[in-house]
Amino acid sequence: MNKFVKKFAVGTLAVGLAAGAFAPSALAATDDVGSTITGGDLSLTAPVINDFNAVTLDGKIQSATATIDPFSVVDARGSGAGWNVMVSAGQLSQVDSTGNVIYSLPGNSMTISSPTVTAQAGASAAEGLIKGSGTIDNTTGVKLISAGTDQGMGTYDISNSALDINLQPKDAKAGTYTSTVTVNLTTGP
């Protein structure tokens, strides 16, 4: 091989390597991004509990029903801590004009039925919630709905629940009865 060709080949190779070292390459950039997410509140829209239907005593066991209008529970805390809807009531009683109790139906006469729970878009599945029913005019009441850990996050519509009273002829006296029903939303499973 001729000296000139060798020098040219070696020189071309050296220039090619040097040019490759300075050739533009694909540019990349990275940056960290973040967001602060602040938890909201745990809330309950106050349920409206309608009056019981009127009853005419007939000497047999009877019942009366009071409907509960739909209401909502919202867990926007973002903690997954769970929650409970507790329902309790005082005894159904006749009260005179000064507020004194004249007569009361026996305790454990009033029950609440299990509700329908519907999860709104983006909420945890409603199937993960535990629904209850039972007697509410006693010292403990009923855990109507319970959301365990990492359940119940979002908004839930509660419907189709009702109160019933069992009227035994031996206990029911004619008159107007009232009771205070309390619905509490508490934290925790």
Domains: count for the chain: 1
Give the predicted TM-score (pTM) of the model: 0.79
Q: Which residues contact 126 (CB under 8 A, 6 or more apart)?
A: 117, 118, 119, 156
Whether 33 is in a domain gets the answer no
At 27, the pLDDT band (50, 70, 90 cuts) reads confident
- Reported as a single tens digit per residue, the pLDDT across 123-166 is 999 999 999 999 999 989 999 999 999 999 999 999 999 999 99
Whether 119 is in a domain gets the answer yes
Whether 115 is in a domain gets the answer yes
Whether 171 is in a domain gets the answer yes
Whether 13 is in a domain gets the answer no
Whether 88 is in a domain gets the answer yes
**How far is Cα of residue 75 from the mean position of the Cα atoms in its chain?**
6
- The arrangement of strands across the sheet holding 154-159 comes to 42-44, 71-75, 154-159, 116-119
- Domain assignment of residue 166, given as a range: 42-187
Whether 138 is in a domain gets the answer yes
Whether 27 is in a domain gets the answer no
